[in-house]
Structure 1
Amino acid sequence: MVAPSGKFAYVMNHVSFNLSAYIIDATTGALTPITGSPFPVGNTPTSMAVHPTGKFLYVASEGDNLSAFTINPTTGALTPIAGSPFDVGPVPFGVAVDQSGRFLYVSNRNAGTVSGFRIDEATGALTAVPGSPFAAGLDASFVAIAP
């Protein structure tokens, strides 16, 4: 996944339970590892989403949680957000942030549900929205938000 700034790339490492982070050379496209990379995430990461402002990164993991990070705008380094990892349903698989950056949704594969969260715009922390989780179909896999 490439951050909205186009300066940083993030790659989930499914088996090693971490996330590699790179600076993208604007001229050549070459990738240079970011100091501190790889960054630990939950067991078996499945998907990730970057906040529209480029300030936050969220990673769903089959360990029934969602890791949340702030993105340093200069270096691209990741810092865990207070409260991370956040509990979600069993085997979260897909994650999406709405265009306004106010809400995040996670599909929970083993429960057939979608968990909804409000994003604190200052910190990136998550709070469950009323009624969450919401019923979905069996084996709910990916989630996308239409503009």
Structure 2
Amino acid sequence: MSPVIDQAVQAGLITSESDVLKVKAVLRYDAGDPLAVRMCFPPKASLVGSEVSWIFGRDLLAAGLGSPAGDGDVHVRPHGEDETVLEFHASVGTAMVRVRTAELSRFLRRSYACVPAGREGLHLDLDGDLAALLREA
């Protein structure tokens, strides 16, 4: 079984009125999927009233702490000295959240303790994933 890290973070959801709705989000890192990070938001942070999860690259999160990063559905950029903004783009709109950079850095340090940067390939089960894909086809 692969190690899993869950870390609750205080997120500030920036609303269309430029207000900030404070929500508890959870960052998850699973060594079984070593390139990815999952960020889960509670139902009150969603337009449809159910939990929302976004999956994006751990390297994207790390890069976005120092300078703007991302060219797909997820963008990460510094916001002042102490915060980082994560933007999640979907067909129904864009969600922007602010998180303390120290919390994101702590999460990344914990993930690197599980799977060091550059060593993710050692934790991938490519043969198993390919076999599962072929079984489904």
TM-score where L is the length of structure 1: 0.28
Q: From the CA coordinates, give the structure whose radius of gyration is larger.
A: 2
Higher RCO structure (Cα 8 Å, ≥6 apart): 2
User: Which structure has the highest strand share of the two?
Assistant: 1
TM-score where L is the length of structure 2: 0.30
